[in-house]
Structure 1
Amino acid sequence: MSGYHTRWVRPCEQVEDPERIAIREALAFGKALYDRRVALGLGIAEVAERAGMTEDEIECIEEGGTAPTVALLRHLAAALDADVRLTAGHDLGSVWFEAHAA
């Protein structure tokens, strides 16, 4: 509880805005793709070619403009020789590509 002026009130439970959640998920997805691409030393064109996508599509994902779907995550993981890892939450770091175990 927190005080407001001269009385105590219980603040309303705040429900997260679905639009904000979607934005954070898209940003986390973009960061995961960028991090893996850089770790492999690949350019956008190389990732696009490996994934059978356009450079614009890869750039859009990296900029947080594309919502992550299971199919797209799997497709990019295969192109990046990696597995997809997810954690609870919607913040940066909740999605990443991890190199296949040797």
Structure 2
Amino acid sequence: MSAHSRWKTIKAARLREDVVEHSEYAQAGLDLRLGDMVRARRIELGLTQAEVAQRAQIGQPALSRIEGGGGVPTLAMLDRLARAMGTTFTITVGQDAT
């Protein structure tokens, strides 16, 4: 099994609907979605992790952890990542009012 296939399997397992009731799993799902947003934007721009990490003045392994949902960046780090990619991230905190 390739690393990419394993990642998709792990991600699907972490986002399963039947485990969201546990707060730890809910947080893991949020971390994964944030990482997905960062990765998608980086790939859309055609940048490597090393390029973005250098521009944001963080280590490439730290960016990899964020993209993989294993590291939760501070707001300051998110700001540096956004600036490094010439973009913005909009984050909603709290429950959706709808």
On whether the aligned pair clears a TM of 0.5, the verdict is yes
1:36-70 CA distance string (max 9 Å, x none): 11011001110111110111111111111012432
User: How does the TM-score come out when normalised to structure 2?
Assistant: 0.66
Residue 49 in 1 paired to residue 54 in 2? yes
Query: Identical aligned pairs, as a percentage?
Result: 38
Q: Deviations over 1:73-99 (max 9, x none)?
A: 222111111111234789xxxxxxxxx
Structure 1 residues 47 and 19, CA gap change in structure 2 (3 angstroms):
same
Moved more, 27-36 or 59-68: 59-68
Q: Which ranges of 4 or more aligned residues in structure 1 deviate by more than 6 Å?
A: none
Cross-structure match for 1:72: 77
Q: Is the 8 A contact 1:29 1:68 kept in 2?
A: no
- Number of corresponding residues: 76
Higher strand fraction (1 or 2): 1
**Structure with larger RCO (C-alpha < 8 A, sep 6+):** 1
Structure 1: runs of 5+ lacking an equivalent = 1-14, 91-102
CA-atom RMSD, angstroms?
Answer: 2.3
TM-score (norm 1): 0.64
Name the residue aligned to 1:38.
Answer: 43
Bigger-Rg structure (1/2): 1
Which residue number corresponds to residue 27 of structure 1?
32
